[in-house]
Amino acid sequence: MRRIFLVFFGILFALVSLEILLQTSSFVISVVNHVNNSKTLKFLRDKEQVTILCVGESTTFAQYPKQLVDYLNEHIKKDFVVIDCGVPGTNVENITARIDSQIKTYNPDIVISMMGANDATLQEKQIYKKYSFKTVELFMLIKRHIESLAAEKLYADEQNIDYSMMVDAYFNSGEKPVKLIKILEKNPKDIKALEGLISIYRTRKDYANVEKYADMFLTTHPYTNNMFVYFMLTDVYIQQKKYESAYNFILSIIMNDKITNEQKNEYFSKIVESYISFATTQQLVEYYNLLVNKKMQTAILNDLYKYLKKNNVEVSYYGYVNRYDKIRNIPNFETEEIKQSYLLFAQKVTDKDVIYICMGYPTVSIEKFRNFFRDTKLRDKIIFVSNEENFKKKLESLPYYDLFVDNFGGTFGHCTALGNKLIAETVGKKIVDMVD
């Protein structure tokens, strides 16, 4: 009995000692990081020119970076170089894979990220429980690592093409997407290849090729519920001012009984970007009335109604039950894949003595991203910037579409000029405090 007690006491003592060691190490690392950050900020204040690298997806590309440099040059007497490295349609894994070469190329003093929305809208919810004791967290980390290795072994023989990385590479290089075209020649029904080509050519404003591959997609997949392709084709019609083609295409989708109401809602939420940006007021009214006449239930109805009323356009309130009126689906950022990409990204940036600003999306809590780094040595190396309260406050007095051109993120979307100005001001104030 005594021997059992001694063994039990020994195990307990070892666990307590390990916990104390981990907690002490965490505290020491925190202090060291604070000292290092102070030195880095002093170095920034002494520099005449500060280079800032903005990475992310389409919510970064041609969005807030231009307004950020204007804000900085207006509020502080230093030269700022703001480099826009946003890539439409990319994901956190690809952003992380590129950051080493981008830092080597541009030698930035600060890196700002706003990333994860594309991953969050596509992945299933996989939230891992947080534990107060670091010993338990350590054991859970080991367990997840073993599970990950087992999964890799299970699927090791599969030959998967990384379409996302391939599209990213062509987007950055500007070269003809030869590999995707060859894949399509072998298999004309390859959905990912078709999607990739449509996305690349839309970004390049090569509308003829967008229509070509979109038509090919709809021919080979006539009963598809892939709203991405429908959105792309509608958008290029409108950008080319083919309003009649766009109108007829939208009408065909409304009348298509094979497309569910949920999928139609997703589509309408995205094509508002095109209508708000390019359509006349009269076309917006026709669009609104078309949805109302068909009694469509979609999240955009109430916002579009408020937008038109604010612009003194007389339209009738739709007045029927719309189950999407108060519902906004929030992307789930709290997946293990997104977390691991964030951890690796932050490690790469901070290892090169570059200041990392982790910026949250509009209306989304920054805690979702801060939690990735809780109980890690990185937590005190990162500056977090929230765009939650600033946008929520504005939305109390402004219509949704004054700040956003769509609602692909549920509670947020791609920003208008006013929305991007709000982001630029928020992160700009933080940078001014750092370098002034």
Over the chain (436 residues), what is each successive 10-residue block's mean pLDDT? 62 62 49 42 62 94 92 88 88 93 94 92 37 45 43 39 81 87 91 89 89 91 77 85 85 82 79 63 83 84 84 89 70 89 97 96 94 91 96 89 79 90 96 85
What is the distance between the alpha carbons of residues 39 and 32, in angstroms, rounded to a whole number? Answer: 11
- CA-to-CA separations, 187 to 215, 216, 265, in angstroms, rounded: 16, 12, 31
Which CATH superfamily, name and number, covers 47-125+332-396? SGNH hydrolase (3.40.50.1110)
pLDDT recorded at residue 6: 60
Q: Is the pTM above the cut of 0.85?
A: no
pLDDT recorded at residue 3: 66
What is the distance between the alpha carbons of residues 187 and 402, in angstroms, rounded to a whole number? Answer: 43
Q: What tokens were used for 252?
A: 């065909």
379 DSSP assignment? G
pLDDT recorded at residue 71: 95
Using CA atoms of 148, 331, 373, 128 in order, give the dihedral in degrees to the nearest 10.
-40
What is the distance between the alpha carbons of residues 55 and 67, in angstroms, rounded to a whole number? Answer: 15
The ranges assigned to domains in the chain are: 47-125+332-396, 160-222, 225-331
With beta carbons less than 8 A apart as the criterion, state whether 17 and 361 touch: no
pLDDT recorded at residue 145: 43
Q: Pick from 107, 109, 46, 49: which is nearest to 79 by CA?
A: 49
We find that the CATH architecture of domain 160-222 is Alpha Horseshoe (1.25)
- CA-to-CA separations, 364 to 114, 360, 386, in angstroms, rounded: 11, 6, 8
pLDDT recorded at residue 47: 66
What is the distance between the alpha carbons of residues 291 and 273, in angstroms, rounded to a whole number? Answer: 16
Which residue, chain included where needed, has tokens 């982001």? 423
Neighbours of 328 (CB within 10 A): 15
Residue 236: Cβ-neighbour burial (10 angstroms; 0-12, 13-18, 19+): buried
Using CA atoms of 347, 349, 350, 356 in order, give the dihedral in degrees to the nearest 10.
-110
Question: Helix 2-46 crosses helix 417-435 at what angle (to 10 degrees)?
Answer: 100
pLDDT recorded at residue 432: 92
With beta carbons less than 8 A apart as the criterion, state whether 414 and 408 touch: yes
The length of the chain, given as a count of residues: 436
pLDDT recorded at residue 13: 62
